[in-house]
Amino acid sequence: MSKQALPVVDLQAVACCPPIAARPLDADQAAVVAPMFKALGDPVRLRLMSMIASVPEICVCDLTSAFDLSGPTISHHLKVLREAGLVDSERRGTWVWYRVRAEAFRQLGALLEVPATPAAEVVV
Amino acid sequence: MSKQALPVVDLQAVACCPPIAARPLDADQAAVVAPMFKALGDPVRLRLMSMIASVPEICVCDLTSAFDLSGPTISHHLKVLREAGLVDSERRGTWVWYRVRAEAFRQLGALLEVPATPAAEVVV
DNA sequence: ACCTTGTTTTGAGATCTGTCAAGGTAGAGG
DNA sequence: CCTCTACCTTGACAGATCTCAAAACAAGGT
């Protein structure tokens, strides 16, 4: 399968950006980044993301069994994470394996870094 | 005014947590953290957050004028950010000033850090 | 008191989201 | 070919969300 043909986030557009606390994000940048935060804004997806990012890879069966939710629901949440560009999936035989997209994940974290000389203290 | 009596995020509960890529978040932790990411998951709020975090403080009038949206809409988004525990507001005379909650903001960033020895590479 | 400006609250409508049941697709193994 | 298991897609529905207009609230100036 190797999903990446969907409306996935343009990583190039994110790679450029300094922390959001460094200077105001413009509308275009916000439109690219917000969906990634949004994807993490659901408790189930956040746990899924955490489970996926904590290991090299993990199969859907192991993810599904960790929740009290239907298969389709987990599948839906995984699709959201995929389309946000945060994870990648690959079918190998019977099972589908998910893996974190390290680049995107790290970039997202970088956006929340507090600048070395935080703007919020320069003027004070 | 000095809003903090609302259903605000319990910072203690977050302060404890290692990066989500270090080990799977449990349901309780996810329930605390997800609303913060959710708050950043809207392009308008993400820009508001960025504008607020980029300066020591900023008044609502300056925030509102940066968008093509009604006052009530901006006010609503600011309320979401407040209730997520990400910003703080204070009325001084005519204007209301917003300021980032540095603790919460930094904690959120810490959750996205990639562990020194990423679990995703230990086993591979 | 009254008006003016800045901000929030309330109410309402259109859209989006989380969830499940039912049905569909893909591969493995008879 | 048939069936079984794993996973995804579709369709549907309750509930949440984004937005604005209208109304309320707060502080300052007249």
Tens-digit pLDDT profile for chain A (124 aa)? Answer: 333 344 455 555 554 579 999 999 999 999 999 999 999 999 999 999 999 999 999 999 999 999 999 999 999 999 999 999 999 999 999 999 999 999 999 999 999 999 876 555 554 4
* Ramachandran angles phi, psi of A58, nearest 5°: -150, 145
pLDDT digits (tens, 9 = 90+) for B84-101: 999 999 999 999 999 999
Nucleotides of C under 7 A from a protein CB: 5-11, 17-23, 26-28
Tell me the nearest-neighbour CA distance from A12 into chain B, angstroms.
Answer: 18
Identify which of A31, A51, A123 has the shortest CB distance to residue B24. A51
Torsion sign across C-alpha atoms A24, B41, B45, B30: negative
The integer distance in angstroms from the CA atom of B88 to the C1' atom of D20 is 25
Q: What is the pTM of this model?
A: 0.87
Partners of B39 on chain A (C-beta within 8 Å) are: 41
A105 CA, D22 C1': separation in Å? 44
Quickly list DSSP for B98-117: EEE-HHHHHHHHHHTPPPSS
